[in-house]
Amino acid sequence: MLGAATFFGLAVLPATATWSRAGNIIGDGGNLLLGALFGAALGRTRRLDLLREPAVFDGLCLMTAYIFVTAGFVKALFMQGMSDFFTQSGYSLGFLKFIMTTEVLGGAALLIPPVALAAAAGLSIDMFGAVYTHLHNGDPLNDSTGAIAMLIRLAAIGLVWAIGRSVPVRPASPRRRMAAVAVTATLCVIAAVAGGTMMRHLR
């Protein structure tokens, strides 16, 4: 609810800097809650029982989906600044629109169980690509913290899927599922770097 109110204020009301700051505070609060969840799980006698609850997987997907969907729309609100950044980074405006669409549709897909894991992988490529772009540009680390925070959330979704009881598509043991998550993350990094390099060359 707070996030939705902040997004409305950012889109409609004046004092954009204030609403943007409020959104950052809410995002930090979400990160704190995520850390508290895993901290509470580690503090239990049977440490993984809490993380195996289906509601935890659903909650992580819902929280992450909201952030990606709103991020896609926020880019549209600040189109001039985003266009300048993408142009300076060597990308086309068409690629910016593709990224915006990917974040909105990928975020929504996190709420659909059969495709949630595929959506998480696609969004991971997006976030690894954001980090790679900032590194390529020589930007300060602070510019990448948002993408890194989202990668942590996506990693949490993969972790909870790997150890969960009632989440979809679990044909193998938890150890093999964890290995699958690690391999997928590595492939996402490769795809992000290769994709970013290719998009700059195409432009």
How does pLDDT run along the chain (203 residues), one tens digit per residue? Answer: 444 444 444 444 444 555 445 445 555 555 566 555 555 555 555 666 667 778 888 888 998 998 899 888 888 888 888 999 999 999 999 999 999 999 999 999 999 999 999 999 999 999 999 999 999 999 998 889 889 989 999 999 998 888 875 545 555 677 888 899 999 999 999 999 999 999 988 76
Rounded Cα distance, 189 and 130, in Å = 11
CB–CB of 119/99 below 8 Å? no
Rounded Cα distance, 137 and 41, in Å = 39
Phi, psi for residue 45 in degrees, rounded to 5: -60, -50
Please give the C-alpha separations between residue 58 and each of 21, 27, 53, 110, in angstroms, as whole numbers.
28, 18, 9, 9
- Which residue range is the domain that position 93 belongs to? 2-202
CB–CB of 48/41 below 8 Å? yes
Write down the pLDDT at residue 54.
82
Write down the pLDDT at residue 4.
45
Query: How many domains, in total, are found in the chain?
Result: 1
CB–CB of 117/64 below 8 Å? no
The pTM score is 0.77
Write down the pLDDT at residue 56.
83
